Amino acid sequence: IAAELARQQKRAAVVAYAKQFVGNPYVYGGTSLTRGTDCSGFVKSVYKPFGVNLPRTSAALRSAGYRVSVQDMQPGDIVCYSGHVGIYVGNGKIVNAIDEAHGIDVSNAYYKPIITVRRIF
């Protein structure tokens, strides 16, 4: 039970870290959390300080970590869509690099069909 608690704390730390970049710009192909990133660059860059080297594309992220069901999503899980990816923050929301108009923000996790949910910790 202690190991699961440690994993939950690590996932919560990922979410807290990711949320501090809300309001920063979206840049296609970017990986900078402050100067601009796209959706997959955002997820890769958020997980990097936690010692996790993730794939660079949203399609490749669909096989990162291990699969959990949408019903079992926990904060910190990676939510994968067709052409997009974000980090689940809880309460039906994801933090993600949306587009040039919206930048990095928190949005509805169910805005389009979820392909898979991947857990890293």
- Which residues form the catalytic set? 39, 84, 96
Rounded CA separation 99/36 (Å): 10
Question: Tokens representing 66?
Answer: 């291990």
CA angle, residues 56, 34, 76, in degrees to nearest 5: 55
CA angle, residues 34, 93, 83, in degrees to nearest 5: 70
With beta carbons less than 8 A apart as the criterion, state whether 108 and 63 touch.
Answer: no
